[in-house]
Amino acid sequence: MSRSTATLRRGLTAASLALGLLLTGCASVYRVDSQVQSFPGWTPTGATAVPAAPQAYRFERLPSQREAAAAASQGMLEELTRAALARAGWNLAEAGTAAPWTVQVSAGTLKLPRAPWEEPWDGFGTGIGLYGGHGYWGTSVFMRMDIPYYERQVSLVIRHAATGQVVYETRARHDGRWASSPELWGAMLDAALRDFPTPPAGPRQVNIDVPR
């Protein structure tokens, strides 16, 4: 085997190991750090004043969320929202019964080929390192690969059912390399509903650790 071939193989192996460590990690949890901003619209008194738990609600869908292609994923998103709201004392009303509130939830993902701060490359890179047991320096050539990066957002709008008045709006945004999973979306929804129904003013970061 030539020295250049051996060097190339070492570079490829090192790159593969680094990629594996990046994707799998060694911890038992991963952190979902969400940027959250909430906008309460409760009135001081009356039917749209801050309600005490427990409360009942029903889901409301946009026409696009009722389409066959989107209905299944919307159903899963609403199920995760139901669990998050239940932790705040809000429960989905039984079918056919009235509820004082409606909840509309939406989510979106933008997949990027790499993180925004990473430069595009031609697929190859070089490095200088110490090889072998003879203490000589050499230049390695290794394959570099793009790792997808995701920008995700989830938003909830709560309305007073009788009047349609928006009483609460909240959204959570998370950027990172984690693949989509119910646990990730659940963490984002929990972040969006942190301090509900009386959140602090302004944007804030909410960190939630999710088991792998």
Q: What's the CATH code of the domain at 121? A: 3.30.160.670
Cis peptide before 113 (omega within 30 of 0): no
Neighbours of 172 (CB within 10 A): 28
Which pLDDT score is estimated for 89? 97
Rounded mean pLDDT of the chain?
84
Which pLDDT score is estimated for 7? 42
Query: Could you tell me the pLDDT band of residue 20, with boundaries at 50, 70 and 90?
Result: very low
Under a CB-based contact definition with an 8 Å cutoff, are residues 73 and 182 in contact? no
- Which tokens in the block code for residue 114? 């790499």
Residues 6+ apart with CB under 8 A from 158: 57, 101, 102, 103, 104, 166, 167, 168, 169
CA atoms of 150 and 156, how far apart (whole Å): 20
Tens-digit pLDDT profile for residues 95-148:
889 999 999 999 999 999 999 888 776 555 555 554 455 555 555 555 567 899
Per the structure, the complete domain to which residue 105 belongs is given by 3-211
- Statement: residue 45 has pLDDT above 50: yes
CA atoms of 202 and 36, how far apart (whole Å): 9
Report the predicted TM-score, pTM, of the whole model to 2 decimal places: 0.77
E strands along the chain, which residues? 29-40, 55-59, 90-92, 101-112, 124-131, 136-143, 149-160, 166-176, 204-211
Domain count, the chain: 1
Angle at 152 between CA 170 and CA 107, to 5 degrees: 55
